[in-house]
Amino acid sequence: MPRITPAAAGQQPPTRVGSRPRYLPFTLTVAAVAACTQSSNFQTTPPIDLGMTSTMAAYYSDEELTIYEAQKPVPFPVKAPSASELASLGPTPAGTPYPHAPYLTAADESIEVHYTITNADSSDHTVWLLIDPWNEFVRWNPGVSVVSDEETTPNFGYDLPFLVPATSRIEGTITTDDMQEIAIKLASVENLLASPQAQGSMDGGAGGDGGAAPDDPDQSSMNQNAFDATAIANNIFNPQNRSNGNDPLYTPWIPPVIAGLTGFDLGLRTYEQANVAIEITIDIQDVNGNRFLPPNSSQPQIGEPPVTLSPSAARF
């Protein structure tokens, strides 16, 4: 369970955090960070900060719902592949949505994200930590879905809600396993939205199988017009659903090769105006020793993906 302690404003939050969310007072002394070798094989990024103020405009607003969001791109120092390296990757693996074999796979990296979320206001706020992932092919941009005239909901990225008490902060870690899961989620949704079923539903054709797996023998019993790619994408990205859970709306879309994460859009969300901030650091391990650049390298990075991927029913 999170530990809650009284808070006193005025001090900066620490940049190092623990493995589980904890509530901390502002007066906690910043712990010393153990020195470590910074190289392409293992490195910790400098702190990355993002804030929201109570004067910022809403990200989305209608008669029923107002959402405040802030986002910031966070690229990983992935080395840009040369033409010869791309040519050596071979053909596109069967059953994957990629235009070519991935240069960086999920098995090539180990990523861990440490975060501190600070509430500078004198009232409690529910703050959502948002991770909208990238791989070398696509950048996830979930948007919102209008469910009915009375209901609009944000589509899922990897979204985690926290109740942050007044003038307090929480700290925690998105573990390596969680980051691997995020890579699988993105690859699965990429596979889903590239499928004939999803393309057919976007084109207004029957094309659907009610959310059944591509090779599900029982799909003939499903409503052929009921395929909802946005709902399935939300099911996949929901942090409560895992790739090893045998979820019938998730597991069938997992491709045999998972492209690695090359970065993400870091975000904060509230449903009321607030003065909140997040600081993260990222531990990056280059498992094979040939995909990431060391700090301060002048070599080109792979950069942001060329394609933005969104649910078919998303609005922005």
Let me know if residue 217 belongs to a domain.
Answer: no
pLDDT 10s digits, 25-79: 544 333 334 344 576 699 999 999 999 999 999 998 888 889 999 999 999 999 9
Who wins on pLDDT, 222 or 198? 198
Angle between helices 229-237 and 176-193 (to 10 degrees): 170
Let me know if residue 104 belongs to a domain.
Answer: yes
How many whole angstroms separate alpha carbon 15 and alpha carbon 191?
36
Provide Rg for the chain, Cα atoms: 21
Who wins on pLDDT, 292 or 203? 292
Let me know if residue 299 belongs to a domain.
Answer: yes
Per-residue pLDDT, averaged over 190-211, amounts to 69
Let me know if residue 140 belongs to a domain.
Answer: yes
Percent of residues, the chain, with pLDDT higher than 70: 80
Domain limits for position 126 = 22-186+259-309
Let me know if residue 17 belongs to a domain.
Answer: no
Let me know if residue 223 belongs to a domain.
Answer: no
Let me know if residue 193 belongs to a domain.
Answer: no
How many whole angstroms separate alpha carbon 61 and alpha carbon 67?
6
Let me know if residue 253 belongs to a domain.
Answer: no
For the cut 90, the answer to whether the pLDDT of residue 218 exceeds it is no
Per-residue pLDDT, averaged over 247-275, amounts to 97
pLDDT 10s digits, 161-192: 999 999 999 999 999 999 999 999 999 999 99
How many whole angstroms separate alpha carbon 58 and alpha carbon 197?
35
Res 315: pLDDT: 86
CB half-sphere exposure, 131, CA atoms < 13 A:
29
Res 200: pLDDT: 75
3-state DSSP call for residue 286? strand
- Of the listed ranges 5-14, 45-54, 152-161, 222-231, the one predicted with least confidence: 5-14
β-strand partners of 112: 283
How many whole angstroms separate alpha carbon 143 and alpha carbon 32?
39
Task: Give the count of domains, the chain.
Answer: 1
SS3 content of the chain, % helix, strand, coil (to 5): 15, 30, 55
Tokens in use for 278?
A: 């997040």
Tokens in use for 183?
A: 């890579």
For the cut 80, the answer to whether the pLDDT of residue 240 exceeds it is yes
